[in-house]
């Protein structure tokens, strides 16, 4: 199959109503062939296509890592390079994909989680671009919800985002901070419980709208259910 035809096929799968079936078909494609089209769809104007490409990248690279770890590492390094100033690009979708991949694959998470977290650390590889910050916070949150022990020590780095003027940053930070038993973040979460600003997050395979307050209260509801 030619590159153009493959890209067209993957786009159709990403756009299909039944994405679960589409995702399984994408997983069955040769990983090295599927990766480049998926990278290109990180820049798609359709938000749902972009997020599904992130989800598909997580599935493809996780599957690849099970039998060819070094090839999976090459893709992780490519995602990291995309966030490097020297790459000449902006890196749309890369932190989200890193978080999704590591949420799905424990060994890759063990090797690369510190790099993802470093993008929210002032003395690390801090990203100043506000839109990229949203992507990083989603990636950190996705990893934290799957493997909280890898992110827990970094809870304090969420504090500046919880006080941001950008509701997206406040909400995404609250979504993650609620997972951890941290006195300082709990204080800010309490303040955010009345924050009615809205944002849209890709969760459970869908783009869903939440208020910041709903995200700040999410963990409290989970604890009550448990």
pLDDT of residue 223: 39
The stretch 126-154 carries a mean pLDDT of 96
User: 12 exposed, middle or buried (CB, 10 Å; 0-12, 13-18, 19+)?
Assistant: exposed
pLDDT of residue 3: 82
The DSSP result for the chain, as a single string, is --HHHHHHHHHHHHHSS-HHHHHHHHHHS-HHHHHHHHHHHTT-SSHHHHHHHHHHHHHHHHHHHHH-HHHHHHHHHHHHHHTSGGGSS--TTHHHHHHHHHHH-HHHHHHHHHHHHHTT-TTTT----HHHHHHHHHHHHHHHHH-GGGTGGGGGGGHHHHT-S-HHHHHHHHHHHTTS--HHHHHHHHHHTT---EEEEEETTEEEEEEHHHHHHHHHHHHHH-
pLDDT higher than 70, residue 222: no
pLDDT confidence of 87, banded at 50, 70, 90?
low
The stretch 35-40 carries a mean pLDDT of 97
pLDDT higher than 80, residue 226: no
pLDDT higher than 60, residue 21: yes
pLDDT of residue 202: 97
pLDDT higher than 90, residue 180: yes
Q: Give percent above pLDDT 90 in the chain.
A: 89
User: What are the pLDDT digits (tens) for 41-61?
Assistant: 999 999 999 999 999 999 999
Structure-block tokens of residue 35: 């990766």
pLDDT of residue 225: 33
pLDDT higher than 60, residue 99: yes
Average model confidence (pLDDT) for the chain? 93
């Amino acid at each position: 199959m030619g590159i153009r035809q493959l890209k067209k096929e993957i786009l159709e799968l990403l756009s299909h109503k039944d994405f679960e079936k589409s995702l399984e078909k994408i997983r069955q494609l040769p990983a090295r062939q599927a990766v480049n089209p998926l990278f290109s769809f990180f820049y798609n104007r359709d938000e749902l296509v972009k997020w599904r490409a992130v989800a598909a990248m997580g599935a493809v690279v996780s599957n690849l890592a099970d039998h060819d770890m070094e090839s999976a590492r090459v893709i992780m390094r490519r995602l990291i390079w995309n966030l490097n100033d020297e790459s000449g690009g902006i890196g749309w979708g890369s932190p989200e994909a890193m978080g999704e991949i590591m949420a799905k694959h424990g060994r890759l998470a063990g090797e690369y989680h510190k790099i993802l977290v470093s993008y929210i650390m002032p003395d690390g590889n801090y990203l100043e671009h506000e839109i990229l910050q949203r992507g990083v916070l989603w990636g950190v949150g996705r990893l934290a919800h799957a493997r909280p022990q890898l992110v827990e020590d970094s809870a304090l780095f969420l504090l500046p985002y919880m006080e941001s003027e950008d509701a997206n940053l406040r909400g995404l930070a609250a979504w993650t901070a609620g997972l951890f038993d941290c006195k300082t973040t709990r204080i800010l979460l309490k303040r955010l419980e009345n924050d009615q600003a809205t944002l849209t997050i890709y969760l459970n395979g869908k783009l869903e709208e939440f208020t910041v307050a709903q995200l700040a209260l999410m963990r409290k509801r989970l604890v009550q259910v448990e």
